[in-house]
Amino acid sequence: MSKENGRAKRHEKSINLALQGGGSHGAFTWGVLDRMFEEDRLWIEGISGTSAGAMNAVVATQGMYDDGAAGARKALEEFWHAVSIAGQASPIKRSPLDVLFGSWSLDTSPGYIMMDALSRMASPYDLNPLGINPLRDLVEEYIDFNKVANCTDMGLYISATNVETGRARVFKRHEVTLDVVMASACLPTMFKAVEIDGVPYWDGGYMGNPVLFPFIDDSPSDDIVIVQINPLLRPGTPKQARDIQNRLNEITFNASLLRDLRTIDLIHRLIDDGALSDDEYRTMNMHMIDGCDDMLELDASSKVNSEWAFLEHLRDLGREHAGRWLVSHFDKIEVESTLDLRALFGDVEGAHGANIVELRSRKD
């Protein structure tokens, strides 16, 4: 396909996609991608992904190599269907009571309760010394990493957390391997750390969920669309032990994203105030697609529910929310942000103001 300035000629606008992790909830992101790749007016310059977002990203990249946007949509459906089939052999399933009442939760599943209890008492080095991981086998079967490396149509960035330094490492397309994807999705309470070149890595969500700065450094597109599946806001105080743990995990896995967004907001403020030059620093248009109340209704245990009906439900939600976002905001792409960072971080405006004053005084 011929391109001008990194974009196919028939596309009107371009974006970058930043995909969060979240287990089976990544099927919501599948739905968003399915709708985005269906949009002929839109060119996707790059994808950043963590954990389940990393898997969506590499599957889409391989599909792009095979047959462009149509290939990406086909590859994603085949991959998630394979996830569902593999999950049929798992003892972690919904209880008859949850099935009866139409709940996607696994909180009353004996298999889930046992797994959850064991993970709190012993490490994966004790429980799974051989490192058996059916998901690794599935990814190895479905992903041709040579195709991923040679797909020049999109940038690809996968993050993992260096266990020793606590820092995020971002792997670019030509560096992405099976180990990189599994490192990005390595929850330390469930799996042994994944070693890459002798360095141990855990889930990328701890330090980059997902990473945004590769787009600022490398992408020709000024627009970043974050696909958010871990709710930023959950009203009320959790009282039950599992609800507390669920909210704690949401806060933990959103912390790095909020940090990056806060930094981007500060840079924008400094440019607006004249403390930084827009010749040296870049203003990005920030956008977000999330599941709103639909994702709030799902608890943490449903992140390991791989039933096809549930994955289809999440896919349909993702397509619906992406479609609404395109209707409301397509004209604003390459024009302005639709995510109001200043409203998001209104509680720290004073701190930003102090930084601006300090930097201005240094400049003067």
Residue 223: predicted pLDDT: 97
As a whole-number percent, the residues of the chain with pLDDT over 90 amount to 69
Work out the number of other CB atoms within 10 angstroms of the CB of residue 170: 17
Q: Token pair for residue 208?
A: 């980059």
**What H or E segment, with its residue span, contains residue 26?**
helix 26-38
Residue 277: predicted pLDDT: 85
Residue 7: predicted pLDDT: 53
CA–CA distance, 249 with 263 (Å, rounded to integer): 22
Question: Higher pLDDT residue, 38 or 122?
Answer: 38
Inform me whether the pLDDT recorded for 360 exceeds 70: no
Residue 342: predicted pLDDT: 82
* Structure confidence by residue, pLDDT tens digits, 153-206: 999 999 999 999 999 999 999 999 999 999 999 999 999 999 999 999 999 999
Q: Work out the pLDDT band at 8, boundaries 50, 70, 90.
A: low
Selection from 170, 245, 157 nearest residue 201 by Cα: 170
Least confident span in 46-50, 74-78, 182-186, 289-293: 289-293
DSSP letter at 42? E
Inform me whether the pLDDT recorded for 350 exceeds 90: no
CB-based contacts of 217, cutoff 8 Å, min separation 6 = none
CA dihedral 67, 73, 75, 81 (to 10 degrees): -160
Mean pLDDT of the chain: 90
